[in-house]
Amino acid sequence: MRRKNFGKMPCPIARSLERVGEWWSMLVLRDALHGIARFDDFQKSLGIAPNMLARRLNALVEAGFLERRRYSLHPPRYEYRPTERGRDFRQVLIALSAFGNRHFAPEGASVMIVNAQTGAAAEPIMVDRATGRPICPPEYVFAPGPAAGERTRQRYAARPPDAVAPAEMARPATPQQRRAR
């Protein structure tokens, strides 16, 4: 059975999933952003089959997340380095990591974001660059953009104002609030 292609859908989430939605791709990008660059090192880190790793690396190069640089002529060998697009994906991985720690790590975080100089744990949140305010409902919601088609405009126009339950609209709890629960 052939999977659906999301690349032409008007939704930016669907288009992004088309490029990085396969789970190995995100783990390859995670490792590349941590400085792993060579095929053997990716394979050792991930425990992935060579044919699958080759496909994922090629797809990430084709999608513009990694660039391939030759480091040996005989035999030909390559390194894979994050491009600007790949480096921009770091924010997605940070958000996914924070989400996973919050919802799927009852034993506690195995990986955290910390201040490199102080070692203090960070609590990642998404903020509006213009105001510095956290992007949380009800202040911030999805809305059709300038390039939205009629179907997208209808989808967001049809959303009732209370589509997000009040409990879901609360700002994310701080680490202190979660510990106090």
Domain contains 132? yes
Question: DSSP string of 66-78?
Answer: EEEEEEETTTTEE
CATH number of the domain where residue 71 is located:
1.10.10.10
Domain contains 80? yes
Cβ atoms of 31 and 46 closer than 8 Å: yes
Claim to verify: residue 17 and residue 81 sit in the same structural domain: yes
How distant, in Å, are the alpha carbons of 49, 70, 80, 140, 160 from that of 37?
A: 17, 11, 5, 38, 47
pLDDT in tens, 96-126: 999 999 999 999 999 999 999 999 999 999 9
- What's the token pair of residue 42? 């990716």
Claim to verify: residue 48 and residue 76 sit in the same structural domain: yes
Residue 114 has a pLDDT of 95
Domain contains 180? no
CA dihedral 23, 25, 30, 36 (to 10 degrees): 130
Claim to verify: residue 64 and residue 102 sit in the same structural domain: no
Claim to verify: residue 44 and residue 72 sit in the same structural domain: yes
Domain contains 5? no
pLDDT in tens, 50-75: 999 999 999 999 999 999 999 999 99
Domain contains 109? yes
Task: Assign 176 a pLDDT band (cuts: 50, 70, 90).
Answer: very low
Claim to verify: residue 101 and residue 115 sit in the same structural domain: yes
Q: What DSSP designation does 135 have?
A: -
Domain that includes residue 104, residue range:
89-119
Q: What domain count does the chain have?
A: 3
Claim to verify: residue 96 and residue 51 sit in the same structural domain: no
Claim to verify: residue 78 and residue 65 sit in the same structural domain: yes
Dihedral class, residue 152 (left if φ above 0, else alpha if ψ from -120 to 50, else beta): alpha
Map tokens 């510095």 to a residue: 132
Claim to verify: residue 111 and residue 154 sit in the same structural domain: no
Claim to verify: residue 79 and residue 22 sit in the same structural domain: yes
Residue type, 36: I
* Global pTM value: 0.79
